[in-house]
Amino acid sequence: MSVEIDTRPIWVILLLKASRPAFYLAVVLIFWGLIAMPTPEGLSIGGQRAIAIFAVCLILWVSNIVPLAITSLFAIVLVPVLGVLPKKETYALFGNEAVFFILGAFILAGAVMHSGISNRVALNIMKRFGGSPRTLVISIFLLSAFLSFFMSEHAVAAMLFPIVLEIAKGLGLKPGKSNYGKLLFFALAWGCVIGGVATFLGGARVPLAVGMLKETTGDSIGFLEYSVAVFPLVVILLAAGYLILTKFFPIDIEGVGSARAVLERRIKGLGKFSINEYATGTVLLFTIIGWIAFGEGLGLATVALSSVVVLFVFRLVKWKDIEEYVNWGIILMYGGAIVLGAALDKSGAASWLVKSSVGDWAGSPWMAFALFSFLSILLTAAMSNAAVIAVLLPVSLGLASKLSMDPVVLTYAIAVPAGLDFMFPMGTPAIAIAASSNYINVKESAKGGFIMFVTAWAVFNLVAAWWWPLLGMGYSR
């Protein structure tokens, strides 16, 4: 029998072994400390408790030590238990339109992926426009962005990854060495990130922000209104992204003949365009028209859920298929975030937090916008997009009333940059899967991503300053 001896210093071994329990203990102590301390002036007891719950959720969301949805569940449990909101009101917040809209949108996206139409469209576009190394990269970049307008950017990345991988192999590109290989995977990841902010559907984070906005102020943002507001940002970022990528990784191959052979083989493998694909595509098309034309009146969730019903009535999809494509944890995550936002607002904790934290620096509406958009894009590099919104939006909405700002504009300031993580795999699955190919590494991603991070923040602020006034949007009410 052999005896295993760990030769590291004892304090290192103990530190590593005790880190997880110590972390939980620290969280409990912080929570207890915030609850037990004397209530600060100007803050109600309910507000103090809401801040304690907020602090714990913030730590858990940032550390990602438990799944995001479970952290949200924690908020849902503690809010009524500590008497911040009555339990009836807490659970009623789950009925928020945003939760049902996102559920409907995810089911629709699942049906589209299951039918195979998204795959077919992707392959045909690449084959049609990818005739040279340059146009192939552009087609992957724009296609990733375009598909992310209509379905979750993460789902698009998952769908396109095997195709791009096969193209890279078909072209004989060496992982970690080929510039063109890096270009292909960055084009996939950045295209998904940029396209994901273009509509309510891409990152699915905007509906959460709109749901929290509506719950707090009664204001809302329309489907088309949002896309028109961010359109110049998306176009400029796509152009900037392409220029940055080709500058960092100049194209180092002559032709893409073998990639075309890969695409042709895959298209052939799909067979003929099926009725199911036609029908699912048509339902998606009418749903988008419905969101644009009737979203305001009927509600986005109503349109989304009506389309889901149509999918099932016409047997275009089975429940079992949908179950495999939708992660139901999203309901808990979104419901919990909305509960937490409402608890902070209704207890007065949000406005108290603003007064005692950012209130002094964010002296003007312009400054508040720049500050929150910066915090949002910075935090999203290290934590989930939805968690960034859940953490920053209640505080920023508290600031809106103090500075007489339009809360809708502040919602944009959080929701849009929260989707623009170009640097690290931990914030965005699209970057994570690109890195998993081994064609790119985290160092390269951080380097190019940092330039995009600065560019995206600057362009977003310029779009807000120059484009939004033309649409009748301003920092102040």
Partner 1 sequence: MKKVLIVLSTSGTSEEAIDYAVKRAKKDGAGLVALYLLEMGLASEIFDKFSDIGFIGDKPSTQLSESIMKEYRQRGYEELGKVQIRAMEEGVDFEPLMEQGDFMQRVLSLIKTMDVSTAVLVKRRKRSFVKYFSRSMADEVKEKALCEVVLFEEG
Interface contacts to partner 1, rule CB under 8 A: 2, 4-5, 7-8, 12, 16, 64, 67-69, 106, 110, 113, 152, 154-155, 158-159, 161-162, 165, 169, 175, 204, 323-327, 329-330, 333, 384-385, 425-429, 432-433, 436-438
- Which CB sits closer to partner 1, 169 or 402? 169
Beta bridge partners of 476: 405
Location of structure tokens 């899967």 = 433
- Which CB sits closer to partner 1, 264 or 324? 324
Burial annotation 43-65 (CB, 10 A radius, 16+ → b, else e): beebbbbbbbbbebbbbbbbeee
Q: Is the dihedral of CA 363, 369, 370, 376 positive or negative?
A: positive
Q: Could you tell me the maximum CA-CA distance found in the chain, to the nearest angstrom?
A: 78
- Using CB atoms within 10 Å of the CB of residue 249, give its burial: 0 to 12 exposed, 13 to 18 middle, 19+ buried: buried
- Which CB sits closer to partner 1, 334 or 453? 334
* Closest to 277 measured CA to CA, from 436, 121, 403, 129: 121
* Closest to 387 measured CA to CA, from 193, 222, 199, 212: 212
- The DSSP string of 240-280 is HHHHHHHHHS----S--HHHHHHHHHHHHHH-SPPHHHHHH
The structure tokens listed for 242 are 């392409």
Supply the minimum distance, in Å, between the C-beta of residue 165 and partner 1.
6
Task: Provide Rg for the chain, Cα atoms.
Answer: 23
Supply the minimum distance, in Å, between the C-beta of residue 221 and partner 1.
21
How many whole angstroms separate alpha carbon 408 and alpha carbon 468? 12
- Please report, for residues 124, 217, 468, the alpha-carbon distance to residue 464 in angstroms, rounded to integers and kept in the order given: 36, 21, 5
- Which CB sits closer to partner 1, 357 or 438? 438
Supply the minimum distance, in Å, between the C-beta of residue 125 and partner 1.
20
- Which CB sits closer to partner 1, 31 or 325? 325
Supply the minimum distance, in Å, between the C-beta of residue 341 and partner 1.
18
- Which CB sits closer to partner 1, 315 or 443? 443
Supply the minimum distance, in Å, between the C-beta of residue 336 and partner 1.
13
Supply the minimum distance, in Å, between the C-beta of residue 460 and partner 1.
22
Supply the minimum distance, in Å, between the C-beta of residue 304 and partner 1.
16
How many whole angstroms separate alpha carbon 280 and alpha carbon 108? 9
How many whole angstroms separate alpha carbon 271 and alpha carbon 273? 7
- Which CB sits closer to partner 1, 3 or 36? 3
- Which CB sits closer to partner 1, 404 or 438? 438
How many whole angstroms separate alpha carbon 110 and alpha carbon 6? 49
- In three-state secondary structure terms, 88 is helix
Angle between helices 179-195 and 442-466 (to 10 degrees): 40
Beta bridge partners of 405: 476
- Which CB sits closer to partner 1, 131 or 175? 175
Supply the minimum distance, in Å, between the C-beta of residue 426 and partner 1.
8
- Which CB sits closer to partner 1, 113 or 391? 113
Using an 8 Å Cβ cutoff, are 261 and 170 in contact? yes
**φ/ψ (deg, to 5) at 88:** -65, -45
- In three-state secondary structure terms, 446 is helix
Supply the minimum distance, in Å, between the C-beta of residue 470 and partner 1.
34
Supply the minimum distance, in Å, between the C-beta of residue 335 and partner 1.
13
- Which CB sits closer to partner 1, 168 or 233? 168
Supply the minimum distance, in Å, between the C-beta of residue 436 and partner 1.
5
